[in-house]
Structure 1
């Protein structure tokens, strides 16, 4: 939406967003928890691409707890920080969030993470990637037939085919 004028209607509990006269979406409105804490409403899908470039930023994010879409993600990040270096924990967590976004498996992945937490395991990224990858049998087979180059020559010369 860069370069466009976005109109926002403020309500007590939500923000309604408009582009010109067209309604775009409604977002929940953040409220401060106390006089010293801000109220953030963050959707991880909006920042995941930036985090992929700099995963260590996850460690010091002011709104990190609001970033996680479900409780299992937050708890898994804490477990990762306990089990490995901060750098590796941040990379692994950003990879999990990215997978949830790109493969549209947020809820199912959260269930698997909760299961791993209960069993005291760390997530296996390679196994999760395989599990949530598209089924090759479900992908359509695309066959492209190219026409002879003489047809293009005829078009350029203005000849009828």
Structure 2
């Protein structure tokens, strides 16, 4: 994930039930949610610490309520402009997977009109910059197995259990 150096990125680090999280926002909306030690986390040098930024505060509050089982959706502006057109199409498709639902990488590819692009879809899902809010954790292997999650399979399992998508 490459963020333009010409666009100000505001950041806030918070703690959650699943560990530390780095939040990022632009003037357009929430641009990032990464767990500590998550794969594909961006270089945050040059980002502006902004604990009072309205989108970051909104994201923190909504994530905390979600992890506590008190919220089942997110409603804040998102900035998904930092990916390729293909990645953005995949990330938009992720937003259409309902809470408690899951899909496969193949189905996701078919949903965006690219049924043969399963590997590319998987790569785009893995580079989703807004974990949890853009629900990449709802994508499973074609056999229903928990596969790949940049934040770790334990977190993916926890998120799916929280949403009632899988049993323990």
Relative contact order, CA 8 A, sep 6+: which one is greater?
A: 2
Larger-gyration structure (1/2) = 1
- When normalised by structure 1's length, the TM-score is 0.25
Higher helix share: 1
